[in-house]
Structure 1
Amino acid sequence: MRNLVSPPRSLRTRLVLIATVLATCAVLLCQTAGLSVLRSWLTDQIDDRLTGFRPPTRVYEDITDGRLCIPESDDALPSDYRVYFYDSDGRLMDDSLGRTDSRGPHLPARADELSLRNGDPATTEARDGSGSWRVVADAGPDRMRAVVALPLDTVDGATTKLLWFSASLGVVVAAGVAMLGNAAVRLGLRPLSRVEGTAQRITGGDLKLRVPDTDPATEVGRLGQAMNTMLDRLRTALQHTAASERQMRRFMADAGHELRTPLTAIQGFAELLHEDPCMPAERRTEAHALIAANANRMSRLVDDLFLLAKLGHAPAPHPEPVDLLSLAADSITSTAVRHPERAITLEPLHAGSSDQELDVVEAVGDADQLAQVVTNLLANACAHTPASARIHVRVGTIRTSPVAGGVDRPGRTSATPALPPGTAAAVIEVADTGPGLAPDDARHVFDRFYRAAPADADEPGSGLGLAIACAIAEAHQGRMELDTRSTAGCTFRLLLPAH
């Protein structure tokens, strides 16, 4: 069943309410303790008076003989004491000492019904039902007993006044705490209100805002720091998402454009063959050859796209020690078969050192994928440089630095993160003496489907070779980078963690 009264939802209201209740309870607790102490102290005073008063023996004898003269006027004995007697048979006697009004303690008619121990004070009700009395019993001669009583009017009056004072003080304290607490809480929560306002504005779409309160010594400051960190990560994630969406749209458009050309050619030649069955054999053979060439081009493009998708979601499939020197030599041999006119040399990475011999350089990875990287780099160098340009393949090891490689610097481009400076890396460089790349081309050279104008090529490539090389390097926890120099062509560098 739902509550009829819902709790306050505002933090400020809850804090003020809690402070008011706690302060009121503290005041009432203190007043209750003081009231108990005061009543106990006043009662002890009356008990001291009762236990210090004992009727003389002569009084018992005079009451028994009837010689005790009791004044008729209440002023004759100006005292609050009341003294009542039980005779030797245990009956309450009519004669008593003290005022003769109707006030007095309620006592039983028989002594054996009197639940009082001699000398121990006790509290009993009044005969008229208003107030209470403190009484003490005393033993007299000849089995007589006396009961001395004092009223508790002063104790009840003092405690009643203090009780009303405590209640009034509690109300005043509650009202004061509610008013002052509201102002204090409002002032104390002002930084939190600023955080709330900033969060509302950010929710409205202003993602450039930051929380102003970031003092780590306060809870609100630590909350502000956490929110700023969260906002920075959110902005970064949104930027990455937007960039990924733009890249995906561009990729889909480029892929559609690249596939449209061979598909259109295949469709056109197929329709030509279908509509002209009497086509001469020479033209028919030419059409079939063009259909096969475009189908082969489209197949290579699809294979490259599939490889890129596979590399983006899986590590190197068969990691094993790979001899990069032998791998580079095999790639040069296969490239020389396709381009016999090109001058391609295999050199040590540090050609200026005294040791000119080629040493074995090993890295851990997939030999087939790494060979594809070197082959793609050599194919690019052959396609984008004139036949007179020389191509140098260098193999060696380095410590990453702005000079040696692996670390970003002006004139160096990469689509993969930089390696930590000082990391030992195995390197394969493919450098050429061609015309180089313009700065704008160098910035986009690793983008998918991006093609710089080749110097001498019968047909343009798909623009995926360097993107595939970059993806393979990243899958091997390495880096693919480009160094451009205005007079020395281009240097593509594959860096892998040294084995």
Structure 2
Amino acid sequence: MWGVTLLAAAAVLTAQTIGVVVLHSWLLNRVDQQLTEFALPDQAIADADNLPRSPAPDSVTLPSDFRVAYYNVSGHKQGTVGGGKKPGPKFPRSTDELQSVEGHPTTVPAESGDSHWRVLRMNEAADHTTFVVALPLDTLEGAMSKLVVLNIVVFAAAVIGLISVGRWVVRLGLLPLTRMEHTAQDITATDLSLRLPDTDPRTETGRLSTVLNDMLDRLQQALQEREFSEARLRRFVADAGHELRTPLTSIQGFAQLALRHPDRPAADRRKADEQVVENAARMDLLVDDLFLLARLDQMPEYRTVPVDLLSLAADAVSAAAAHADGAHRVTLGSLDEQVDNGELEPVETLGDPHRLLQVVGNLLSNALRHTPPGTPVHVRVGATRAGARTGGTSRPDRTSTSPPLAEGTPVCVIEVGDDGPGLLPEEAARVFERFYRVDPSRSRAHGGSGLGLAIATAIAQGHGGRLELDTTIGHGCTFRLVLPARD
């Protein structure tokens, strides 16, 4: 504001100075032009030898305010022509004291007071008489004095107006920043969900508010993710401790029993040892799963080779059927229900066959373990495009912790479905959580450690795909492994 005020004041002062100089020059040129164009009356020239030294009341009267002084051949002043109430110019006594050059006007002071006169020297060629013509500069000096006073008043008013209006305009322009300041104080003191109100993209403060709002959104999201991550870590530690405490308690109990009763029968000791070995194996499996999950979370390295998902699914079905002991009927088919099993075609993708087989094996193991005996289990393999019906994208009755794929993306799919009782919506929403088991008692007989689906999800994401669940109460569950198709 001060810079603009100084610049404007300098501009006004420069314009006023130029105006004063131009007007003064123009008025002075007008006076000089009048002096140059002045012609002496014939009567004044004829009576030049008899003029008195000061004008008499009945002397020759010249037009306007002209005054004329006469100097004889010897250069002495003879007298003056013209009169008036104002003091006349201070003419020199002889031409030797004249500073005016013929044809070039000059300024002389008045006989009294502060006024000035403009004088011009002219020579009469006939008798070598010198005439000095004078005009008063009272009008010019008065006009210039009034103009200077007016300019001073205008300059002062302009500076005061610029300062006053400038401060008001600056305060008005900074009003959004003031509101931003108050909102920022409220955000710091009370609620992180508050946002800056002025977001007009046409103004600098509006664009700044938009950027700050985006930054606040990201900060709030980061804080929420941090809180979620901390809560998840606490829950993970609690679940891991719970899972490890059960086998440790069993081992500790059988060990104390052996110390207190060393003379137990051999059959009891063997049974206790078997329980110790079983719980130790359970702990070993749990620790291995934890290590595997940690490696998968830390950007694991997967083999990238062509994988035939049909052969992989067939191997998984064969292994599952061998462990099912006829309690379940496991079938292998195509995504397209119209295709006969004998006409299945290979479905190739790129990935790590060992890890992908681990995912399919886990899905089959869960289907066999968590459904009643005799429940059919269907494994379907095929190539399709991502969509709400085929999989890979989100829809209301579909659960997944992985981001959805773009609609229409070419994908390879392995589905593991069953005709069991299905899952409740609240159970399906948590089925991919670590250590989560549908069995509220967390019994080992009804499931593993609760890390299988979390590991399978991590492997699917590591291959650029996702693991998802479609389920309806009374209509079974369908777990779907969706992987990018091979180019």
Aligned ranges 1:85-484 → 2 under 5 Å: 93=76, 97=80, 104=90, 110=96, 114=99, 118-122=102-106, 130=114, 133-138=117-122, 141=125, 148-176=133-161, 178-179=163-164, 193-216=178-201, 221-266=206-251, 290-314=275-299, 317-341=302-326, 342-353=328-339, 357-453=343-439, 458=445, 460-484=447-471
How far the C-alpha of 1:428 sits from its partner, in A, is 0.5
Which residue matches 1:489?
A: 476
Q: Is the 8 A contact 1:106 1:127 kept in 2?
A: no
Letter in 1 for 2:483: L
Give the distance between the partners of 1:268 and 1:75, measured in 2 at CA. Answer: 151
Instruction: Verify the 8 A CA contact 1:119 1:137 in the aligned structure 2.
Output: yes
Rounded to whole Å, the distance in 2 between the matches of 1:408 and 1:355 is 29
Q: Aligned pair in 2 of structure 1 residues 496, 94: CA closer, same or farther (>3 Å)? A: same
Structure 1 residues 102 and 411 mapped into 2: Cα distance closer, same or farther (>3 Å)?
closer
What secondary structure does 1:443 align onto?
helix
Q: CA RMSD in A?
A: 4.3
**Which deviates more from structure 2 when the two are superposed, residues 260-269 or residues 326-335?**
260-269
Contact 1:363/1:497 (<8 A) preserved: yes
CA distance 1:358–1:151, change in 2 (3 Å): same
Cα 1:161/1:365, change in 2 over 3 Å: same
- How far apart in 2 are the matches of 1:480 and 1:211? 40
| 1:132 shift after superposition | 5.4
Residue identity in the other structure for 2:190: G
- Partner secondary structure for residue 240 of structure 1: helix
Relative to 1, partners in 2 of residues 1:353 and 1:328: Cα closer, same or farther, differing over 3 Å? Answer: closer
Query: Structure 1: how far apart are the matches of 2:91 and 2:287?
Result: 113
Task: Determine the C-alpha separation between the residues in 2 that align with 1:107 and 1:392.
Answer: 137
* Structure 1 position 71 matched with structure 2 position 54: yes
SS of 1:299's equivalent in the other structure is: helix
For 1:182 and 1:215, how far apart are their aligned partners in 2?
Answer: 23
C-alpha distance in 2 between matches for 1:393 and 1:40: 107
Give yes or no for contact 2:247–2:283 (8 Å, CA) kept in 1: yes
Deviation at 1:418, TM superposition (A): 2.0
Q: Alpha carbons of 1:134 and 1:471: their partners in 2 closer, same or farther (altered >3 Å)?
A: farther
Residue type at the aligned position of 1:488: H
Give the distance between the partners of 2:266 and 2:355, measured in 1 at CA.
43
Matching residue's letter, 2:289: D
Once the two structures are TM-superposed, the CA of residue 41 in structure 1 deviates from its matched residue by 2.4
The verdict on how the C-alpha distance between 1:234 and 1:74 changes in structure 2, with shifts beyond 3 A counting, is: farther
Identity %: 47
Q: CA deviation at 1:464?
A: 0.7
* Shift in alpha-carbon separation, 1:140–1:395, aligned structure 2, 3 A: same
> Helix, strand or coil: the match of 2:343?
coil
Q: Is the 8 A contact 2:52 2:78 kept in 1?
A: no
Q: Is the 8 A contact 1:391 1:433 kept in 2?
A: yes
SS, match of residue 156 in structure 2: helix
Q: Give the TM-score normalised by the residue count of structure 1.
A: 0.78
Q: Give unpaired runs (5+ residues) of structure 1.
A: 1-13
Structure 2: gaps (5+ residues):
none
Cα displacement string for residues 227-260 of structure 1 (whole angstroms, at most 9, x for unaligned residues)? 5444444443333332222222212222232233
CA displacement, residues 326-364 of structure 1 (integer Å, 9 cap, x when unaligned)? 221222333344444443222112123468511111112
1:7 matched residue in structure 2: none
Q: Is the 8 A contact 1:383 1:456 kept in 2?
A: no
The Cα of 1:471 is off from its aligned counterpart by 1.4
Pair 356,192 (structure 1): closer, same or farther in 2 beyond 3 Å: farther
The answer (yes or no) to whether the contact 2:76–2:94 under 8 Å persists in 1 is: no
Letter matched to residue 368 of structure 2: C
What TM-score, normalized to structure 2? Answer: 0.80
Q: Is the 8 A contact 2:435 2:449 kept in 1?
A: yes
- After TM superposition, give the deviation of residue 147 of structure 1 in Å: 5.3
